[in-house]
Structure 1
Amino acid sequence: MTGEPEGTATTALLMLSGNAGWIETARAQAACLGLTRFRAVETAAEAATLLSGNRSYSHLLMDTAAAGPLLADLIDMTVGEAASQTTTVLLASADGPFRLPCPRSRLRVIDTRGDGWLAHALASQSAEAACAADVPISQLLATLKNGGLQARYQPVVCIADGRPAGIEVLARLDHPELGTLAPDSFVPPIETAGFAWDLAQGVAACALRDWRGDALARLGLRLTLNAPLEVLLRPDAFDRIEALRGEQGIAAARIVVELTETCPVTDPAPLGRVLTRLRAAGYGLAMDDVGPSMRNHEELMGLPFTILKLDKHVVRDSATDPHAARFLEGAVTAAHGAGMKVIAEGVEDVATWNRMAALAVDAAQGFLIARPLPAAIVPIWHAAWCQKRIPA
C-alpha cells in the first residue's frame, strides 16, 4: 500500500477500511480504476481529519461499516464544493439508506457487494444529476418549512499562534430528491421571495442546538451567525435574536452576528441603531466581504463593528494585483485603527497565510484551515489542528 506524502496532488485515493477482506476488495477496485497511490486510514475520525483539511481526494474507498454514522458526512466532504473532478466512492457492508450530496454529476458510487442494496438505498432519489437552479421556489420553501436546513461550520484561527478562535455557520438545504444544496443554490431565491428571516432563524436555531449539545460548546470557540441587512433592519431584530439565544442559554459574548453583503447599506443610521443594541448586549459584530467593490465600507467602519472580514477574492488577487494588495494594506490599517480585528477569508494555501501574516491580519478562514464541516466533525478537526497549529 503506497502512502501519500503530505501535500501531494489532489488525485490521491483515501481508503477507509475496517477489515482485511475489504482491503483486498478495495485493492482490486483501485487497480481497475488505474490508481497506484493512496492514503490508508482505519477509522472514521482519521478520515474526517484528512477530509477536513486542504487535501482533496478524487477517490474515496470506504467500508461503510467502519464509517458508521459519519458515512454521509464523509461522502459530502469528499465531493466538496470546490471539487472539479468526479469523485468515485466505493461502498460495502452497509444496508442503507443514505443519500448523496448534490450535485451528483461529480459523484460516482460503486457497490462492491453486488446484491443490489445500493440501488435499493438510492431508489427514492432522482436518477439524473439535477441542477438546483431548476428547483421551484415552492419546493425550496417547503424543504425549509419541513426541517430541511442543515448547518456546516467553517473554522477561523488566529494567525499569530494558530489558535482556533471561532466557527462560522454556513447553511445547507437537504432537498428530499436532490440531496444537499449549497447556499448559492437556495439562499438568493429564498431571500428574494421575502423569507430571509425564516432562513436566518432556521440556520441560527440549528446552530444553537448543535452548540448546546456540548460537542461544540466545550471547544471554547465563538459562533458566527450570518444575517442579511433585511433581517437586521426589522424593528424586532434585536428581540428575536435575543430570544433565540436565550432559548439555548448561550452567552451573547460567544456569538458574532455577521452582516452579509447581499444588498448595499444605503442608510447606515437604522443599521447603526440595532448594532449598537447588539454590541451593548455583548455580541460581536462582523462586516462581511470587504473588498474594492464594496462601495461604502469606510462609512460602515464608523458603526460599532468589532470584526472586518476581507473578501476572499481580494485576498486571492493580492498575490498578483498591486491594487488589491494596496487595498488590503489600507483596510487592515483602518480596521485596526478603529479597534477592529481583521479576518481574511479564502486562505487556501501557505503562501496566502504568510501574506496575510505580513499584513498583520489577525485571523484566517479558508480551505487551508478547514472546509465547512458537519457538527460531528468539528471536534475531530479541532483536536487534529491543535496538534500542529501553524501551517507548514
Structure 2
Amino acid sequence: MKILVVDDEPFVRKLLIHQLGRLGFEHVQASASAQEALSMLEAPGESPDLIFCDLQMPGMDGVEFVRHLVNVSYAGGLVLVSGEDERIVQTAAKLARAHNLKVLGALNKPVPIDRLKQILEDGITHSPAQPRAERKTYSAERLLRAIVDGELINHYQPKVELASGAVAGFETLVRWQHPQDGLILPDQFIPMVEESGLINELTRSVLRTALRHARAWRDDGFPLQVAVNVSMDNLVALDFPDFVERAVEEAGIAASGLLLEVTESRLMKDPLTPLEVLARLRLKRIGLSIDDFGTGHSSLAQLRDIPFSELKVDRGFVHGAWRDASLRAILEASLGMARQLGMKTVAEGVEDREDWNFLRSSGCELAQGWFISKALPPEQIPDWIAGWNLRRSTFVEPGA
C-alpha cells in the first residue's frame, strides 16, 4: 500500500512515518504542503492508496485540499489529522464524505498509535467500494403491480433491551423481491412510490403483513412489538386511524403490540395537519415513535405538540458517541429530555461493543443496529432469537 503524509510540520511528518513503519507500512512518502502533494498526485502512476492530511497548513489548508482531491478524481482513502478542536476535524470529515471521498477516519494530534492502527485495520478490512451500477427506475404501474401481486416483502430488524439484552420487538423494513432484478432495497423504489401517490397502498400492505407476522410470533411464544414506518401521506388520510384499528383487531393482537414510527423531517413540513390523526391513534392505544430524532429543525416543537410514546435517537448521534464529546452531549441531552417526558428511548446505529456499553451506562432503554443484527426475513426470526439469547449472556450480567 502506498501512503502519502501531507503536513507542514517536519516533526509530525517524521513521527507519523515512524508510526506507520512500526505498523508494517513501508511505502510512505511525505509532502510539506498541499500544493506539493497535488503535484505528486498528478504524476502518472503516483497516486497513493491512502493520504494522511493535516488541516491547518499555510497556503492551501486541508479543507481546500479536499476540494482539489475531488477535482483530480482521487479514489483512495483519506485520513484527516489536526491539532484543531475535534468538532472542526469532524466537520471537515463530514464535508469530505459529502464529496464521496473515502474517509477512513479523523485523528487529533498527537496521533495515538493504537487509534492509528484501528483506522488502518478498519480501512484495509473493508474492501474498496465498487463503482455503483446505474440505478434502474420503475414506472408507477409496475410499482402498483408489485404491491398488488405481493412482491413487496417485510424484513425485520431487532430491538433489544440494553439492561437485560431481552428482545423487545422488531422494526419492519420493506424490500422488493423483483422476479427479474432480485432483492431491491427501499431507497431505490420508495421515492418513486411517494411521488406516484402509492404510499398509502404500500404502507397498508406492509402493516397488514407485519401484524400477521407479529401474531405468528406470539403464537410461537414470542409476544413482541412490531414497528412500522409511516409516511406523511398516511398521516393526512383521516381514515388511517380506523384502518389501523381494524387491522390490529383482525390480526388478533393487542394495540400495544404495534408501534408506528414517524420520521420528524416529514412532520416538520406541516406539523398541524397530522395532529388529528396522531391524537386518534394514541387514543386507540397505538404507540407512536419519533424516528431519526435530532436530524430535523423542529424536534422540540414536535415533542411539545405530538403525543409520542417513544424517541429514537438517530444513528448519526449514536455510533461513536462514547469517544466523541459532541455526539455524547447530544445523545445524553436527548435521552434526558425523553425521560422527563415519560417516553421510551431507543438508540439506532449500535454498531459495536463500545456503542453497546456506553448506551447501557447512559440509561438508554432499547438498542438497534448491526451489533445486534441486520434486518432479517421473518422465517429467520425464531432461530435468531435463540442465537441471541445465547450470545447476550457474554455482555449482559447474569440476572440483569
Q: TM-score, normalised by structure 1?
A: 0.64
Q: 8 Å contact 2:268–2:296 — kept in the other structure?
A: no
Aligned to 1:352: 355
CA distance in 1, matches of 2:307, 2:333: 19
Aligned to 1:180: 183
- Whether 1:222 aligns to 2:225 is yes
Q: CA deviation at 1:187?
A: 1.1
Q: 8 Å contact 1:272–1:304 — kept in the other structure?
A: no
Q: Larger relative CO (CA 8 A, sep 6+): 1 or 2?
A: 1
- Whether 1:288 aligns to 2:288 is no
Distance 1:220 1:344, change over 3 A: same
Deviations along 1:337-390, one digit per CA (max 9) or x if unpaired, are 000011001111000111212221111001111111111111111111122325
Q: 8 Å contact 2:265–2:296 — kept in the other structure?
A: no
Deviations along 1:283-305, one digit per CA (max 9) or x if unpaired, are 111010012x3111111112211
From 138, 141, 147, give the equivalent of 1:138. 141
- Whether 1:309 aligns to 2:312 is yes
Q: CA deviation at 1:323?
A: 2.5
Deviations along 1:266-317, one digit per CA (max 9) or x if unpaired, are 44334332222222222111010012x3111111112211110011122125
Structure 2's unaligned 5+ residue stretches are: 1-124, 396-400
CA distance in 1, matches of 2:300, 2:290: 11
- Whether 1:324 aligns to 2:327 is yes
Residue identity matched to 2:248:
R
Residue identity matched to 1:255:
L
Deviations along 1:7-51, one digit per CA (max 9) or x if unpaired, are xxxxxxxxxxxxxxxxxxxxxxxxxxxxxxxxxxxxxxxxxxxxx
RMSD: 2.4
**Structure exhibiting the larger radius of gyration computed from Cα positions:** 2
Distance 1:242 1:187, change over 3 A: same
Distance 1:214 1:356, change over 3 A: closer
- Whether 1:247 aligns to 2:212 is no
- 1:256-275 to structure 2, matched below 5 A, reads 256-261=259-264, 263-275=266-278
Structure 1's unaligned 5+ residue stretches are: 1-82, 87-104, 107-128
Residue identity matched to 2:147:
L
From 373, 376, 387, give the equivalent of 1:373. 376
Aligned to 1:338: 341
CA distance in 2, matches of 1:312, 1:364: 10
CA distance in 1, matches of 2:292, 2:337: 16
Q: CA deviation at 1:228?
A: 1.3
Residue identity matched to 1:337:
Q
Distance 1:390 1:286, change over 3 A: farther
Q: Percent identity of the aligned residues?
A: 33
Distance 1:209 1:273, change over 3 A: same
Distance 1:131 1:246, change over 3 A: farther
Residue identity matched to 1:219:
F
Q: Secondary structure at the match of 1:226?
A: strand
Q: 8 Å contact 1:285–1:307 — kept in the other structure?
A: yes
Q: Secondary structure at the match of 1:301?
A: helix
Deviations along 1:84-111, one digit per CA (max 9) or x if unpaired, are 659xxxxxxxxxxxxxxxxxx99xxxxx
Deviations along 1:140-199, one digit per CA (max 9) or x if unpaired, are 332222211101011100101111111111101111210111111111110121111111
CA distance in 2, matches of 1:348, 1:307: 21
| Divergent runs of 4+, >6 A | none
Distance 1:262 1:334, change over 3 A: closer
Residue identity matched to 1:296:
S
Q: Secondary structure at the match of 2:266?
A: coil
CA distance in 1, matches of 2:307, 2:266: 19
Q: TM-score, normalised by structure 2?
A: 0.62
Distance 1:221 1:366, change over 3 A: same
From 364, 367, 370, give the equivalent of 1:364. 367
Count of aligned positions: 269
Q: CA deviation at 1:319?
A: 4.3
CA distance in 2, matches of 1:251, 1:337: 27
Residue identity matched to 1:343:
V
Q: CA deviation at 1:320?
A: 4.7
Q: Secondary structure at the match of 1:161?
A: coil
- Whether 1:298 aligns to 2:336 is no
Aligned to 1:147: 150
Aligned to 1:165: 168
Q: 8 Å contact 1:229–1:265 — kept in the other structure?
A: no
CA distance in 2, matches of 1:138, 1:212: 32
Q: 8 Å contact 1:159–1:361 — kept in the other structure?
A: yes
Aligned to 1:235: 238
Q: Secondary structure at the match of 1:135?
A: coil
